Structure 1
Amino acid sequence: MEYVVWFLIGAIVFILGKSLFDFIHGEQLQHYMRRRGFSLELFYVLIMIYCIVIIGFGLIYFVLSMQAPILVEHGELKQVSVFGSLMHSLYFSGVTILTIGYGDITPIGVGRLIAIVQALIGYILPTAFVLRLVQRHDQSRDQ
């Protein structure tokens, strides 16, 4: 059973990494960046990558919480259904990547490290996106 958990986490991390890499370096982003002005499609791509990261990390929290508690609500370990645990994991993932951090659900143990990595991605993702846009704009202006 433990091998299945690590396989699932590995698959989720691979998908997250591939999605982030393709978002920043992929052909799809470069296609949208060739256009002048605001691109609604590019905005949709940014929203989709945020959704993928929220769901991916939410699934990591969920899978790990099936092994041992990693999220506590209001400082207490509460028993919730499987669906409730999934909803808590997705909610915590969303408020973490968006750096809202209400404090009603907090990570413990390895969940803290995962939350730090996710918050770091939450900070870096928009910065990398803007830097990439500025770089493409400078390249198109030089040509």
Structure 2
Amino acid sequence: MGSLLVIGAILFILINLIYFFKNKEFKYSYFSTKMFYKLFFVLTGVMIAFAVLYYGLGINGTVLRYSMPDGEPVPHSFTNYLYFSGVTILAVGYGDFLPVGHLRFFALLEAAIGLLLPSAYFMKVLNSKDRE
């Protein structure tokens, strides 16, 4: 069950990223409401998909610990993983949860996506304005 969730989440993340970069229906302006909504929903979808991925990885063992000196495991609940995914993709990183094991790699990947997608959004908007 856990590996099925992980595979499904990874596929969903990839589909969202492909959709973002392949779809070329943008208005030629500095701010495009359509592009903003697209970015918002793609980031939200990727955040939820990473939370599902983390939840799937957490079925097999501890993947999040509290960052307190005792480092107790964070309870296995979707809301904890959704919270961790949200602060990771938004580059907030409160530091209350620490990823362990394979989750560390996926957290880095999610943080990179959280930084690169908005950058790509601004580059596309500026590029479309230059073509005008």
TM-score range, shorter chain: 0.7 to 0.9
1:73 corresponds in structure 2 to 66
Question: What pairs with 1:1-143 in structure 2 (closer than 5 Å)?
Answer: 4-26=1-23, 30-31=24-25, 33-36=26-29, 38-75=31-68, 76-78=71-73, 80=75, 85-139=77-131, 141=132
RMSD over aligned CA atoms reads: 1.7
State the structure with bigger RCO (CA 8 A, min sep 6), 1 or 2.
2
Other structure's SS at 1:67 match = coil
Q: Measure how far apart 1:131 and its partner are.
A: 1.4
Q: 59-68 or 38-47: which moved more?
A: 38-47
Other structure's SS at 1:77 match = coil
TM-score (norm 2): 0.87
Q: Measure how far apart 1:35 and its partner are.
A: 4.5
Count of residue pairs brought into register by the alignment = 130
TM-score (norm 1): 0.81
Give the structure with the larger helix fraction: 1
Other structure's SS at 1:72 match = strand
User: Structure 1 stretches of 5 or more lacking a match?
Assistant: none
Separation (CA, whole Å) in 2 of partners of 1:103 and 1:7: 29
Identity %: 30
Other structure's SS at 2:59 match = helix
Change (3 A) 1:134 1:36: closer
Deviations 1:20-52 (A, max 9, x none): 1111221xxx32x23445332322221111110
Change (3 A) 1:135 1:70: same
Deviations 1:86-115 (A, max 9, x none): 111000000001111111011011111111
Kindly provide the amino acid, as one letter, of the partner of residue 123 in structure 2.
L
